[in-house]
Structure 1
Amino acid sequence: MTTGRGRWLIRDGALFDGVDGKVREGHSILVDQGRIAWVGPDADAPPAAAVIDAGGRTVMPGLVNAHVHLANDGSADLAAQVRDDSTATAAYRAVANALITLDAGITTVKDCGAADNVVIDLGRAVEAGVVPGPRIVAAGRVITMTGGHGYFMGVEADGVDAVRKAVRGELKKGAGFIKAMATGGVLTSGVKPTQTAFRRDELTAIVEEAHHAGRRVSTHAIGRDGIENAILAGVDTIEHGFHLDAELFALAIERGTYLVPTLSAVGCIVAQGAVGGIPSWIVDKAQSEVERSRAMFSAAVEAGMNIAAGTDAGTPLNPHDGLVEEMIQMVQIGLTPQRTLLSATREGALNAGLSEVTGTIEPGKAADVIVVDGDPLADITALRGIVLVAKDGSLHRSSLEVRKDRTGDLMEVTR
Structure 2
Amino acid sequence: MTLKWENITLYTGTGEKLTQSAIVVEDGKIVATGQEAVKMAASKTIDGKGKTILPGLFDMHIHLGMDGVADPFAEMAKETQASSAYRHQANAVKQLQSGVTSVRNLGSKWHVDLAYRNAVNAGLLTGPTVYGSGQPIVMTGGHGYPMASEADGEDEVRKAARQTLKQGADVLKLMATGGVMTPGVDPGSPQLSEKEMRAAVEEALHAGKTTASHAQGTQGIQNAVRAGITTIEHGIFLDDETIELMIEYGTVLVPTLAAPYYIVQNADSGAIPPHAVKKAIFCLDAHQESFRKAVKAGVKIAAGTDAGTPFNLHGDFAKELELMHECGMPIRDIITSATYQAASALNVQDQTGSLEKGKVADFIVLSEDPEDNISAFRSVDAVYKGGTLVHGHSNRESVYTK
Structure 1 residues 16-415: aligned runs within 5 Å: 16-19=11-14, 21-41=15-35, 44-275=38-269, 277-399=271-393, 414=398
Alpha-carbon offset, residue 285 of structure 1: 1.1
2:159 is matched by which residue type in structure 1? Answer: K
Instruction: After superposition, give the CA deviation of every residue in 1:178-225 in whole Å (9 maximum; x if it has no partner).
Output: 000000111111111111101111111111111111111100001111
| Alpha carbons of structure 1 residues 146 and 24: separation in structure 2 relative to 1, 3 Å | same
Change in 2 beyond 3 A, CA 1:412/1:9: farther
Give the alignment's TM-score, normalised by structure 2.
0.96
Identity percentage of aligned residues: 42
* 2:5 is aligned with 1:13: no
Counterpart of 1:344 in structure 2: which amino acid?
A: A
| Contact residue 23 and residue 38 of structure 2 kept, 8 A | no
Distance in structure 2 (CA, Å) of the matches to 1:93 and 1:290:
29
Residue 46 of structure 1: CA displacement?
2.7
User: Which 5+ residue runs of structure 1 have no aligned equivalent?
Assistant: 1-5, 401-410
* In structure 2, C-alpha distance between the alignment counterparts of 1:413 and 1:297, rounded to whole Å: 41
Paired residue type of 1:352: L
Q: Alpha-carbon deviations, 1:118-166, whole Å to 9, x = none?
A: 1111111112221111110000000000010011111100011100000
Shift of 1:413: 5.3
| Runs of 5+ unmatched residues, structure 2 | none
Q: Distance between the aligned counterparts of 2:204 and 2:382, measured in 1? A: 37
Contact 1:369 1:391 in 2 (8 A): yes
- CA distance, structure 1, for counterparts of residue 112 and residue 332 of structure 2: 35
Taking the aligned partners of 2:178 and 2:38, their CA distance within structure 1 comes to: 56
Contact 1:71 1:114 in 2 (8 A): yes
Q: How big is the shift at 1:44? A: 4.3
Query: Could you say what the CA RMSD is over the residues aligned between the two structures, in angstroms?
Result: 1.4
Task: Supply the AA of the counterpart residue of 2:2.
Answer: R
Contact persistence 1:66–1:351 (CA under 8 A): no
Residue 327 to residue 200, structure 1, CA distance change in 2 (3 Å): same
Query: How far apart in 2 are the matches of 1:379 and 1:369?
Result: 19
The whole-number CA distance in structure 2 between the counterparts of 1:60 and 1:191 is 40
Question: Deviation of residue 311 (structure 1)?
Answer: 0.3
What is the CA-CA distance between 1:373 and the residue it aligns to? 1.1
Number of corresponding residues: 399
Following the alignment from structure 2 to structure 1, what is the Cα–Cα distance between the partners of residues 47 and 125?
28
Give how far 1:48 is off: 2.4
Give the secondary structure class of the aligned counterpart of 1:242.
coil
- Taking the aligned partners of 1:234 and 1:156, their CA distance within structure 2 comes to 21
Where has structure 1 moved over 6 Å in runs of 4 or more?
none
